[in-house]
Amino acid sequence: MVAMKSALFVDFDNVYSGLRELDPAVADQFARQPTRWVDWLLHSLPPPEHALSGARRRLLARRCYLNPQAYQRYRTAFNQTGFDVIDCPPLTSEGKTATDIHLVLDVVDLMRNEPAFDEFILFSADADFTPVLRKLRRADRRTTVLAIGFPAAAYRASADLLIDPAVFVREALGIELPVPAPAIPALTNLPPDDERLAGVEPPLRALILQVHQHTGAPPLAPAAFRALLEAVAETASGGAEGHAARAQDRLRANGFDIAASEIEWTLQNLLQAGHFFQDGQDDLRALSYKLAGYLVNLCRREQLQTEEGFAGAVHRWLSGKAA
């Protein structure tokens, strides 16, 4: 068995807040029982691409960067799991900490010193770490990333291995979420002749494919996306557990065959957008505006060049008004 010398860096505030958006119990499990998911990293997570065949991780460095004013109660659990806990208190009135600079300096320091680390594992969705991932790649080091939410495309492309948050929550934390949380959209490189967009006008078709490539949004025709959001709204009263399955049954009854993964993507990204189901706002108008705004922000973050009226066009697509 070949030992792969690994270093683990946890941007605690970033990961905890991302998991809390999915479910507070998930975030609490991550924070209170790090021993469990560290064991999963060591014994269950496959090595990144181009690692030595049969390599098995050995975590020589474990560092957790944590705001002590907000998360001091979790410090002991990480200390007992062998982490060096680096306090990163707020430095500004907005609560900004120096986590980024502390983490980057530590990565560069370990990259240059002995022993030579084979793999750097980074738990954060912060795109500011993209340059350090690229620096590690140029130094021929393997990089593994856990990013909760939707990480920037450049950040994803700079890592050798991306840990799927749904897998992490299910296998590393031992929690079955009602709605999976995919880190990377399963739908990529959509063929331009996808039959689901047959009959859609070329300008709208181009917009749909563009948004899909930058955000992972299901590339559905306007009528299908409207039906999807209506089904999500109509079945929300049953609660989070089984919501996707109920919505899919409703869609099939209405003559729409939409994949479960696309329904789950929609539910998860509505949650990421800040929507709270069963709060009296579960209708087509509310869901389409919330999701459209979120997708537009993702596209802008990915530096997609858009024309005037882009946001309105996205909303018309999702709400079916562009049909």
pLDDT of residue 178: 56
Q: Calculate mean pLDDT across residues 183-203.
A: 62
Confidence of residue 269 (pLDDT cuts 50, 70, 90): confident
pLDDT tens-digit series, residues 296-310: 888 887 777 777 789
145: enclosing H helix or E strand: strand 142-146
Rounded-to-integer distance, Cα 323 and Cα 191, Å:
21
pLDDT at position 182 over 70:
no
pLDDT tens-digit map of 92-149: 766 678 899 999 999 999 998 888 899 999 999 887 888 999 999 999 999 999 988 7
Work out the pLDDT band at 250, boundaries 50, 70, 90: very high
> Tell me: the pLDDT tens digits for 66-101?
999 889 999 999 999 999 999 999 887 666 788 999
If DSSP codes are grouped into helix, strand and coil, which group holds residue 217?
A: coil
Output the six-digit token pair for 241.
């557990």
Q: Higher model confidence: residue 2 or residue 110?
A: 110
CATH classification (class only), 2-172: alpha beta
| pLDDT of the residue at 220 | 93
- If you search the block for the tokens 């590393």, which residue do you land on? 172
Residue 164 has pLDDT above 90, yes or no: no
- Token duo for residue 49: 């691409």
Stretch 308-319: mean pLDDT, rounded? 91
pLDDT at 157 exceeding the cut of 50: yes
What is the model's pLDDT at position 67? 92
**Nearest alpha-carbon partner for 229 in 308, 165, 294, 301:** 294
Give pLDDT, residue 126: 83
Token digits for 8? 């683990």
Per-domain boundaries in the chain: 2-172, 195-319
Residues 169 and 36: beta-carbon distance below 8 Å? no
Q: Residue 185 half-sphere exposure, CB side, CA atoms within 13 Å?
A: 22
Fold for domain 195-319? Four Helix Bundle (Hemerythrin (Met), subunit A) (1.20.120)
CA angle 116, 120, 125 (to 5 degrees): 160
Q: Judge whether residue 180 has pLDDT over 50.
A: no
Give Cβ neighbours of residue 192 (< 8 Å, ≥ 6 apart).
Answer: 209
Tens of pLDDT, residues 21-75: 778 889 999 999 999 999 999 999 998 877 777 788 999 999 999 999 889 999 9
| 3-state percent helix, strand, coil for the chain, nearest multiple of 5 | 50, 10, 35
- pTM of the prediction? 0.62
Over the Cα atoms of the chain, what is R_g? Answer: 21
Tens digits of residue pLDDT in 5-20: 999 999 999 999 888 8
> What DSSP letter does each residue of 159-176 carry, written as one string?
-SEEE-HHHIIIIIS---
More confident residue, 155 or 233: 233
Please name the residue that has the structure tokens 């990259």: 111
Classify strands 84-87 and 119-123 as parallel, antiparallel or unpaired: unpaired
What was the pLDDT predicted at 323?
60
Question: Cis omega before residue 203 (within 30°)?
Answer: no
Reduce the DSSP state of residue 243 to 3 states and report it.
helix
pLDDT at 93: 65
Q: What is the predicted pLDDT for the residue at 187?
A: 38
Place 189 in a pLDDT band, splitting at 50, 70 and 90. Answer: very low
Q: Give yes or no for a contact between 198 and 307, defined as CB atoms under 8 angstroms apart.
A: no
CA atoms within 13 A on the CB side of 17: 12
What pLDDT, on a 0 to 100 scale, did the predictor assign at position 166?
Answer: 84
Chain centre to alpha carbon of residue 23: 14
Q: How far is CA 66 from the centre of its chain?
A: 20
Q: Do 157 and 179 form a contact (C-beta atoms < 8 A)?
A: no
For the segment 201-231, what is each residue's pLDDT rounded down to a tens digit? 888 988 998 888 888 899 999 999 999 999 9
Q: Evaluate whether 38 touches 85 at the Cβ level (below 8 Å).
A: no
